[in-house]
């Protein structure tokens, strides 16, 4: 039974910490090159606890068939009505919004159908991150089903370094020479007003599919499918690029009486949506949940080859496999060479080609990991000289600080030092920068206040990208150190509005998800429930109920719990270089196993016999064949405090 009111269990060790907040003081292991003073740990901040539902609320949800645990967790995530909870749990494809309710969808379907009927040359124009690549691949696969065998269908994805991001005049001229008469963008185009007009003068019709906030003046495209258009009334605004591409594919296949075939493309939707760190609520949640199932049954030769190389087991693939295995490999193409490699992997039906492309991505990702670690050493060294700075800005020569890696490095360093980080890759006259926030520092608002310093910039509260003349770098750093604007630690624009992406250039947000075992961003430091009866609340049945809310990610974080008064029966280190702390914990005659990630160096702080308060998520310890053995859970510890 899940308690609706936090209270002190009489068998637990007393604690003076109120249940609405818990301040934990034990630090995490310092990274090489930084002292503990420079590296405030995750534990150094307070955890707040969501307000428990009232008895009346629990009764209302139970009457609607919603389990108490589901009701509390979903309410914590902003899913607050019984009907919304039912839809979330059902995750039914039949209940997602009709694609034709997206603005300009009917015009897009009409124009593409005409192009297919007349065997026109169609070009798909993507972007070089996971969302841009998967959305371009998805539309290519959909159109390949419908086009005439001899009709031309190709793609264009800009090079991360050599080309301009988004639609450019130079790319349009290249596409024009191919004979393209219809250009369909994915994950880009909303801000390219002049470029779309230039395409018209070349005789190219442009259909934009995008999810970035458009400028006040919209491009005069043949059709512009973007839920953030002010004249769009579509109910699901948080679809990312691959989600918008999927809706177009759904409408197109429906027009040809083949709508059921769109389900085959859901695996790409899952990869692109998770890779773009989109909110996993509403339609996104449904599409990704169904997409993960499709991933297990995929017929996509490229995905099968990539998953085999990544050692992902069939039937056990989860959202974290995309975040930490598939996504980084797909992104490695654009970071290290060209995103076209990943696109061709995802669109080929030839198994030999798929295996060759997958091996190439594997090699690029391994090289990316080595370069990232080398660059991390350099940025840590520079950061050491900025101990007292509230914002860290580091930079180096382009050859040693690759532009494709600086976003990852900024995210990793920000996680380590718990401060906003700006990393710049310098050329002879200008630098490209990538920024990641920490706490309530609103990066895009800080950049907007000195927009005069930049050649271009874009992003949101937590991440941004920019180009700056080298002579302006010091002025930027001084501005950041003294900036006192209104912060926002979510994804909004600092005033409660939705996230705003600058019209100048879409931000480089790849790398927002840092490739670590567990990352709890500052704005996720909330406990869903305080456990008062662990023997009945922390069970396999509870784990099963929690897993029904998956996939977890932005907007729908993995549920976090708190349990006070556990006694350490045994502890030992595990993992590479003793990085992690393993524990056997007891309370009220019940024993739990747990792992405190990246806390191996603190083993002496947690003596056997000590009482501790623990913040954790619940994991499955063993998954035997049906009917064989006992199914246990373990605690994935994210914070721990010695009592007293």
- Structure confidence by residue, pLDDT tens digits, 550-603: 999 989 999 999 999 999 999 999 988 898 999 999 999 999 999 998 899 999
- How many CA atoms lie within 13 Å of 400's alpha carbon, on the beta-carbon side? 10
Q: Please tell me the pTM assigned to this model.
A: 0.83
Q: Which residues contact 518 (CB under 8 A, 6 or more apart)?
A: 597, 636, 638
CATH architecture of 95-361: Alpha-Beta Complex (3.90)
Looking at residue 520, what is its pLDDT? 39
Nearest to 306 by CA among 258, 260, 341: 341
Structure confidence by residue, pLDDT tens digits, 27-75: 333 333 333 223 233 343 478 999 999 999 999 999 999 999 999 999 9
Evaluate whether 513 touches 519 at the Cβ level (below 8 Å): yes
Q: Hey, do 21-50+528-642 and 385-482 end up sharing a CATH topology, with the first three levels equal?
A: no
Residue 529 buriedness (CB in 10 A; 0-12 / 13-18 / 19+): buried
- Overall average pLDDT of the 385-408 stretch: 92
Nearest to 103 by CA among 206, 219, 232, 198: 232
Looking at residue 485, what is its pLDDT? 67
Strand 392-397 and strand 430-436: pairing?
A: unpaired
Structure confidence by residue, pLDDT tens digits, 474-517: 999 999 999 976 444 333 333 333 333 333 333 333 333 333 33
**Domain 385-482, CATH among 3.30.230.70, 3.90.110.10, 3.40.50.300, 3.10.310.30:** 3.10.310.30
Position 164 confidence tier, pLDDT thresholds 50, 70, 90: confident
Position 188 confidence tier, pLDDT thresholds 50, 70, 90: very high
Looking at residue 99, what is its pLDDT? 98
- Overall average pLDDT of the 402-409 stretch: 90
Position 524 confidence tier, pLDDT thresholds 50, 70, 90: low
Looking at residue 327, what is its pLDDT? 93
Q: Per mean pLDDT, which of 81-95, 320-334, 400-414 is the most reliable? A: 81-95
Lowest mean pLDDT among 126-135, 155-164, 417-426: 155-164
Maximum Cα–Cα distance for the chain, whole Å?
A: 78
Rounded distance between C-alpha atoms, residue 209 and residue 493, angstroms: 23
Rounded distance between C-alpha atoms, residue 578 and residue 315, angstroms: 31
Decide if pLDDT at 250 tops 90: yes
Domain boundaries, the chain: 21-50+528-642, 95-361, 385-482
Cα-Cα-Cα-Cα dihedral of 562, 568, 570, 576, to 10°? 40
More confident residue, 267 or 214: 267
Looking at residue 397, what is its pLDDT? 94
Domain 21-50+528-642 sits in which CATH superfamily? Nucleic acid-binding proteins (2.40.50.140)
DSSP reduced 3-state for 293: helix
Looking at residue 623, what is its pLDDT? 53
Give the CA distances from residue 316 to residues 82, 88, 293, 347, 633, in Å, rounded to whole numbers and listed in that order.
30, 22, 10, 24, 17
- Overall average pLDDT of the 290-295 stretch: 96
Evaluate whether 354 touches 298 at the Cβ level (below 8 Å): no
Looking at residue 466, what is its pLDDT? 92
Structure confidence by residue, pLDDT tens digits, 597-636: 889 999 999 999 999 999 999 998 865 555 444 578 999 9
């Amino acid at each position: 039974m899940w308690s609706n009111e936090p209270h002190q269990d009489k068998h637990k060790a007393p604690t003076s910490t109120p249940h609405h907040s818990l301040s934990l003081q034990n630090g995490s292991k310092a990274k090489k090159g930084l002292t503990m003073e420079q590296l405030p740990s995750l534990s150094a901040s307070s955890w707040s606890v969501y307000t428990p539902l009232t008895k009346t609320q629990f009764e209302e949800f139970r009457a609607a068939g919603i389990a108490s645990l589901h009701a509390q967790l979903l309410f914590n995530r902003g899913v607050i009505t019984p009907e919304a909870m039912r839809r979330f749990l059902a995750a039914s494809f039949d209940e997602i919004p009709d694609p034709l309710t997206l603005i300009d969808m009917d015009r897009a379907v009409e124009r593409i159908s005409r192009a297919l009927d007349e065997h026109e040359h169609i070009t798909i124009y993507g972007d070089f991150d996971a969302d841009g690549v998967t959305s371009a691949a998805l539309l290519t696969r959909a159109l390949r089903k419908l086009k005439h065998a001899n009709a031309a269908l190709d793609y264009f994805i800009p090079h991360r370094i050599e080309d301009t991001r988004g639609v450019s005049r130079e790319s349009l001229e290249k596409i024009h020479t191919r004979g393209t008469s219809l250009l369909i963008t994915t994950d880009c185009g909303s801000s390219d007003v002049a470029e779309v007009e230039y395409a018209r003068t070349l005789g190219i019709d442009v259909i934009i599919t995008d999810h970035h906030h458009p400028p006040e003046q919209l491009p005069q495209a043949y059709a512009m499918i973007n839920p953030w258009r002010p004249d769009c009334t579509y109910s699901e605004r948080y679809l990312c690029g691959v989600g918008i591409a999927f809706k177009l594919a759904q409408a197109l296949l429906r027009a040809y009486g083949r709508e059921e075939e769109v389900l085959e493309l859901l695996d790409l939707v899952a990869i692109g949506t998770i890779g773009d760190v989109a909110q996993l609520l509403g339609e996104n949640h449904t599409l990704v949940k169904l997409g993960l199932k499709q991933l297990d049954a995929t017929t996509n030769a490229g995905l099968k080859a990539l998953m085999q190389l990544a050692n992902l087991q069939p039937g056990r693939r989860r959202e974290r496999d995309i975040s930490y295995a598939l996504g980084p490999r797909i992104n490695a193409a654009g970071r290290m060479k060209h995103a076209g490699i990943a696109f061709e992997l995802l669109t080929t039906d030839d198994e030999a080609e798929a295996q060759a492309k997958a091996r190439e991505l594997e090699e690029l990702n391994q090289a990316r990991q080595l370069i990232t670690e080398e660059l991390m050493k350099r940025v840590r060294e520079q950061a050491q000289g900025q101990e007292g700075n509230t914002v860290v800005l580091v930079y180096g020569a382009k050859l040693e600080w690759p532009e494709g890696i600086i976003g990852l490095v900024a995210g990793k360093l920000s996680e380590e030092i718990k401060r906003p980080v700006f990393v710049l890759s310098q050329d002879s006259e200008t630098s490209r920068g990538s920024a990641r926030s920490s706490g309530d520092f609103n990066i895009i608002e800080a950049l907007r206040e000195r927009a005069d310093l930049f050649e271009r910039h874009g992003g949101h509260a937590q991440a941004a990208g920019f180009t700056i003349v080298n002579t302006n770098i010091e002025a930027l750093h001084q501005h950041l150190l003294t900036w006192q604007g209104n912060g926002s630690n979510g994804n909004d624009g600092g005033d409660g509005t939705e996230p705003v992406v600058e019209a100048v250039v879409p931000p480089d947000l790849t790398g927002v998800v840092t490739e670590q075992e567990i990352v709890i961003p500052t704005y996720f430091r909330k406990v869903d429930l305080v456990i008062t009866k662990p023997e009945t609340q922390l069970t396999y049945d509870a784990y099963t109920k929690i897993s029904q809310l998956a996939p977890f990610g932005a907007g729908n974080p993995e549920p976090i719990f708190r349990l006070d008064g556990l006694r350490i029966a045994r502890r030992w280190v595990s993992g590479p270089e003793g990085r992690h702390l393993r524990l056997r914990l007891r309370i009220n005659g019940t024993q739990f196993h747990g792992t405190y990630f990246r806390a191996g160096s603190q083993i002496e702080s947690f003596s056997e016999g000590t009482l501790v308060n623990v913040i954790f998520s619940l994991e499955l310890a063993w998954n035997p064949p049906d009917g064989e053995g006992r199914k246990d859970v373990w605690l994935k510890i994210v914070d721990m405090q010695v009592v007293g």
